[in-house]
Amino acid sequence: MNQIPMTPMGVGKLLDKSFNVYRQHFGAYFLLALIWFGPFLLLQQLLLIDLSNVPLLMQDTEGLEFWEAMGEKFIGQEEMVTQNIARLLLYLFLVAPLTMAVAYPQLLAGATLLTKSAWEQQTVDLKAALKGALGRFWPLVGSTLVYGLLAIAVVFGFTLVFLLIGFLFTIVTGSSIETFLDAGSDFNPVLFFIVFLFGYLLFLLGLVLVPGYFLLRWSFYLPLVLFEKGGVGIDQSWRLTKGNFWRIFAIFIVLSFLYSTFSGGIQVVILSILGTSIISQIILVVLSCLLMPWMAIVYALVYFDLRVRKDGTDLQEMMNKQLDQSTDRFSAEEPGAAHE
């Protein structure tokens, strides 16, 4: 089948394209998520939830008023977490790292291959996508570990600098928590709350913009490792995203808002009906496997859009360079031609 030309897309067109791709090839993407994330999510539920205290079908709230029953169901969501330290440690040091280092890159790589076929109007083959992603298994794992270590370092460094600035601020102003809470001082708890809230919001904003800037610029390492088969992909991602940060940032802000709104809304409905039951947890696992492919499709489309923009820019620069060289040669030859 003939390929359609790839052209740059705006934010709206990109999101619309992601919905269309997912709708047309829903089965392949959903099975991909079930294969890679389904087992890890179920294992997470088994390790983190005390199944002996959770009903199978529906939480019993008989005899309670409506709002009391709703409160009981949502409070139960916190109470069902297991107190078994061994299981918590097993999840933190085995299941969670394997999910991030194995399931995460394989899902994104497989989704990227499926999306490439869909965008080029070729046959979308789940088996071929799984095989292609597994063929780059260790490079994807290695580059993901490098990205994770960089993420930890950047976030830790920013947090350290922020705390240092806060410490210097308390020294310069001569204030402390005890000063704010001291009833006999010029400060009061209300002022302390305002200052604390302002500092917390400033920290969150800085966390999104400063570490977020680097993490977003590095985040397209995975398809580069998948397709170009060379290096870790971090520095290539940095060059690929040059001049496109704010557009990518806007896309993922919209994506996060839509995902959290849709996912949170469905979770509220499920918990309000079934409460903290085994069935509700299984439904939430299936919901995650339904939503993750869409986010992976957006990620893949953003990468292909960046490639189109980068290739177009490189082509334009090459043409301009050739034009400048031709002009220089013409200027150098002109005096000789006039002399003859």
Per residue in 130-143, pLDDT tens?
999 999 999 999 99
Query: What is the structure's pLDDT at 338?
Result: 47
> Average pLDDT in the 311-319 region?
52
Q: Is the pLDDT of residue 2 over 60?
A: no
Higher pLDDT, 332 or 256: 256
pLDDT greater at residue 179 or residue 172: 172
pLDDT of residue 3: 45
Residue 340 pLDDT: 45
Average pLDDT (86-111) is 92
197 touches 186 (CB < 8 A): no
pLDDT of residue 223: 95
* Cα gap 224→237, rounded to integer Å: 7
> Of 256, 259, 293, nearest to 34 (Cα)?
293
User: Taking 90 as the threshold, does the pLDDT of residue 272 lie above it?
Assistant: no
Helices and strands of the chain, counted as H and E runs: 15, 0
Return the pLDDT at 238. Answer: 95
Separation CA 187–CA 191 (nearest Å): 7
49 forms bridges with which residues in the sheet? 81
User: Does residue 5 surpass a pLDDT of 70?
Assistant: no
What pLDDT score was predicted for residue 72? 53
Mean local confidence (pLDDT), 20-43: 94
Neighbouring residues of 274: CB distance < 8 A, sequence distance ≥ 6 = 57, 58, 59, 280, 283
Res. 70: pLDDT tops 60: no
- The per-residue pLDDT for 51 is 67
Give the DSSP H/E element, type plus range, for residue 4. none
Q: Is the pLDDT of residue 328 over 70?
A: no
pLDDT of residue 198: 84
Q: Which residues of 245-277 are buried (b: 16+ CB within 10 A; e: fewer)?
A: eebbeebbeebeeebeeeeeeeeeebbeebbbb
Greater model confidence, 69 or 122? 122
- 202 closest CA partner among 172, 158, 239: 158
Side chain identity at residue 45, one-letter code = Q
Q: Is 2 left (phi over 0), alpha (psi -120 to 50) or beta?
A: beta
- pLDDT score for 1: 38
- Cα torsion through 17, 21, 26, 29, rounded to 10: -100
Model pLDDT, residue 167:
79
pLDDT surpasses 80 at 111: yes
> Tell me: the pLDDT tens digits for 294-308?
999 999 999 999 998
Looking at 177-186, 283-292, 296-305, 315-324, which range is the least confident one?
315-324
67 has a pLDDT exceeding 50: no
